[in-house]
Amino acid sequence: MTQLYDCRDAFENKLRELASQDQRIVAVVNDSVGSSKLNQFGQMYPVRLVNVGIAEQNMIGVGAGLANGGLIPFVCGASPFLTGRALEQIKADLAYSNTNVKLCGMSSGMAYGELGPTHHSIEDMAWLRAIANMTVIVPADPVETAQTVEVAVSTAGPMFIRVSRLPVPIVHDPDYHFEIGKAALLRDGGDITLIANGVLVCQALAAAEMLAKEGIHARVLNMSTVRPLDNEAVQAAATETGGILTAEEHTVFGGLGSAVAEVVVSTHPVPMRILGVPGVFAPTGSASWLLEHFGLTAQGIFDAALELVKRKG
């Protein structure tokens, strides 16, 4: 049985490790200590865990002010509230002001399942990537999550890191090297390209395995950086495989699929399928049930990829 991991653990472990070496690192939360898994960070660095209470607008502003004072704040909260509640603060105080704040959207996507659409964060990629000067990263596994935290500390400027709580397997080799704006080629193939990020990367890999049994060789890209997008990898996928399927735990309006399509239509148009939540508020169900419901599984990706391969002829 493949071991599965909650990426929040890798996030917190790396943040704590880096905080021990770099006094500038602080965490800012909206009472979300437990849900951001920052209890241990708070025990080790009580003064450097700034809890502003349940007040997201203030939380973002405080993050900007801490950065103004030379610190590196990791502003952590459940992604739906962190992004949706304080979007104007994110635009003006972080992106437009170009402050060195790292926004960490925890339990993104539909991870909160039965808690319902108020607690789902399936618009955050679209909202954040529409803002100039924002870097948007959606790590796929604990290896990439930890490296993202390292890169966040060493790279100046505002950044959104989307961290899931859904258990995922490790999809990257230990020698994987994450770079902002660089897609990771996880499997090569010439018949179709599957582009995914976050919790759907492992599903895309499993789908590619199923496709191989049908004699279809799928390329799999982990597009963890949604902005700036790896345009070259997208263009190469279009020209070399002739068809692209994207999969994201996000609405199909404005997320990864849209970002990829923007490049495809303006460079090398090829047939595409965009898998995600089809512009509806999710019905009641657990996170895993909802992913099944919307076809965001290996089987769903496999079925859609077969169709797409037929369509491109």
Interface contacts to another protein, rule CB under 8 A: 26, 47-48, 50, 52-53, 55, 57-71, 73, 88-89, 92-93, 96-99
Transcribe 215-256 into DSSP letters.
T--EEEEE--EEES--HHHHHHHHHHHS-EEEEEEEESSSSH
Q: How far is the CB of 50 from another protein (least distance, A)?
A: 7
Residues annotated as catalytic are 56
- Reference 273, options 234, 301, 232, 231; nearest CA is 301
Between 88 and 179, CB nearer to another protein: 88
Q: How far is the CB of 17 from another protein (least distance, A)?
A: 20
Between 28 and 143, CB nearer to another protein: 28
The span from the CA of 310 to the CA of 294, in Å, is 22
- Reference 139, options 117, 116, 165, 113; nearest CA is 165
Q: How far is the CB of 163 from another protein (least distance, A)?
A: 22
Between 97 and 286, CB nearer to another protein: 97
Between 12 and 93, CB nearer to another protein: 93
Find out whether 161 and 148 touch, Cβ atoms under 8 Å: yes
Between 92 and 216, CB nearer to another protein: 92
Q: How far is the CB of 46 from another protein (least distance, A)?
A: 11
Token pair for residue 170? Answer: 């490790």
Q: How far is the CB of 65 from another protein (least distance, A)?
A: 2
Calculate Rg over the CA atoms of the chain. 19
Find tokens 């060493």 and name the residue. 154
Q: What is the 3-state secondary structure (H, E, C) of 39-74?
A: HHHHHHCHHHEEECCCCHHHHHHHHHHHHHCCCEEE
Half-sphere exposure of 159 (CA within 13 A, CB side): 27
Token pair for residue 146? Answer: 């930890």
The span from the CA of 214 to the CA of 232, in Å, is 28
Q: What are phi and psi of 82, to 5 degrees?
A: -60, -45
